[in-house]
Homo-oligomer: A and B are copies of this chain.
Amino acid sequence: MTHPVPTSAAGTAAALARQYGPYLQADWGYANHWYPGVFSREVAAGGVVGITIGGHDIAVTRDQSGKAWAISDRCVHRGVKMSRKPMCFKDKTVTCWYHGFTYSAETGNLDTIVGSPTDKLIGNARVRTYPTEEFAGIIWVFVGDEDYSPVPPIVTDLPMKVTDRENPIAHLRDPDVVADGIRREVYGNWRLAAENGLDPGHILIHRDNQLVVALDYALPLGLKALKDDAVELIDIEDGPKGIMERFDLQEMFEPVFFNPELGVKARGSRYDPFFRVSAWLPAGLMVESWPEPGYGQYEFYVPIDDHHHMYWEIMVGRATTEEQKNEFQFKFDHFFKPLGLLDFNDNDIMAREATEEFYAKRDGWRGEVLGDMDFSIVAWRKQAAKFGRGFFESPNADED
């Protein structure tokens, strides 16, 4: 099959590709960044949960003092995942269920082998470790080259702290943040997921979503950038890198409510450009004041392999009292999660899966034809290409 390839507003796919070449290489994701690993609630003391980030199989555990640790989830002996059957005989260790290889959660050193306490391997073998941090109900993991140093502060890999608005979205490290969310494995390259999230042109898929209809939101048909800097390139020294779509500035963006050719009008009566959207290295999204002021949504598209990502959807609010925390949780359980994270975002998942088919099999990175509304995506690609700290590579022997 051949597609005509016109010169789009942004130039041909081939011409564009030269501007963000490294992004096209990032099929397994950007290495040497912090990623959300597991929800805190998933790992009890002595528990082991296995995750995969950019091809790295990682076992996350927690010691009796409550501190989280992350080590390679592949036992050096015969390569099984230790998380397959969690086993912990001693604090701050992980024992492999198969042959009893027991590693320090802190150093990764092989401390003993259950049935071979005098084994010559003891003290001479280890699995690698991964730095962790824990806040906002999430255990975060720094994943990349083992010798990457120094490990950058995690704040460089989180969406930035918003300070320019009233009632700003809580930053994930704010002391009064309350957060809850879900994560699920989705078919589709992480970049298609990230691009779907920040894409101002994709909102047609949400036109009939329950949340939008129930709240009578006048979701525009599209958003038209009025100036070249409508998409702000953000590069904070020792801080986050990303792009922000200034939907909040009327001189920058014009919502499109009517298509005269088709006679199609946006539905709903309530419009307020509160839901500013921004995308952040390595794979994050921030939607402010969504689905209503005082709240916000973070998303992370954590690469698993070149065709799957872990989709993180996190709602945040602010609470200092028990009552406020309960109110947030109640809204999360009965509004944000069912209408937002599930029904609304299920449409995004469908879209990513549909796009993956084209990009994975039909050379879509070269065959795509971008339009005016893709300026945001192009800006994101360039920013990611510029600030990504390295590439994950396939751990599989028979792939490149």
Contact = CB atoms under 8 A, between A and B. Distances in A.
B355 A80 contact: yes
Interface string A193-207: 000000101111100
Given A1-B55, A121-B369, A397-B361, A259 B77 contact: no
Contacts of A124: 6-8
A119 B89 contact: no
Interface string A76-94: 1111110011000110010
Contacts of A37: none
A124 B372 CA distance: 13
Number of copies of this chain that the complex holds: 3
A337 interface: no
Contact of A371 (B81, B99, B146, B358): B99
B100 A222 contact: yes
B224 A116 contact: yes
Interface in A161-215: 199, 201-205
Interface in A44-86: 55-57, 72, 74, 76-81, 84-85
A362 B120 CA distance: 25
Given A97-B204, A351-B98, A9 B119 contact: yes
B222 A256 contact: no
A392 B259 CA distance: 39
A260 interface: yes
A199 B116 CA distance: 13
A253 to B, nearest CB: 12
Contacts of A293: none
B259 A358 contact: no
A391 B157 CA distance: 51
A67 B99 CA distance: 45
Contact of A115 (B8, B113, B204, B355): B204
Contacts of A351: 80, 98
23 contacts: A1-B395, A2-B128, A3-B72, A3-B76, A6-B124, A9-B120, A74-B362, A77-B371, A78-B364, A78-B368, A79-B368, A85-B350, A98-B205, A98-B354, A99-B204, A100-B221, A100-B259, A101-B371, A102-B262, A112-B262, A119-B371, A361-B397, A362-B397
The 7 closest A-B pairs by CB, nearest first: A115-B222, A79-B358, A115-B221, A363-B397, A112-B261, A80-B354, A89-B262
